[in-house]
Amino acid sequence: MSKIYAKPLPRISGVLLFLFVANLLSAVAVSYAAHNSRKYLNELFEATQIRDKAQAEWGRFILEQSTWTAHNRIETLAVQQLNMHIPEPSAVRMVSP
């Protein structure tokens, strides 16, 4: 009877297995990084749109505020609604503290 001996695997197959696993992990890492990149880019675009809307609304509020506080509007309201008028110079009295 002859004995059958298993031949030891060549050392190169271990290296090839390591390189295959490393290549597979690298492919998964690239896919994960691309996914995260797209996700963060979408979040950036959403944040940019929110910022642009807020900036436009801020501009409208500033314009509205300048309209409501215009000097001629305040003077017109004071004369029409409060019956105020500019006093004559002779009616003005200076009071010292």
| Tens digits of pLDDT across the chain (97 residues) | 566 666 665 667 888 899 999 999 999 999 999 999 999 999 999 999 999 999 999 999 999 988 888 888 888 888 899 988 888 988 888 888 8
Cβ neighbours of 75 (radius 10 Å): 12
Would you state the pLDDT for residue 54?
A: 97
| Residue carrying the six token digits 């505020």 | 65
Which residues does 84 contact at the CB level (< 8 Å), separation at least 6? 78
Sign for the pseudo-dihedral over CA of 53, 59, 62, 68: negative
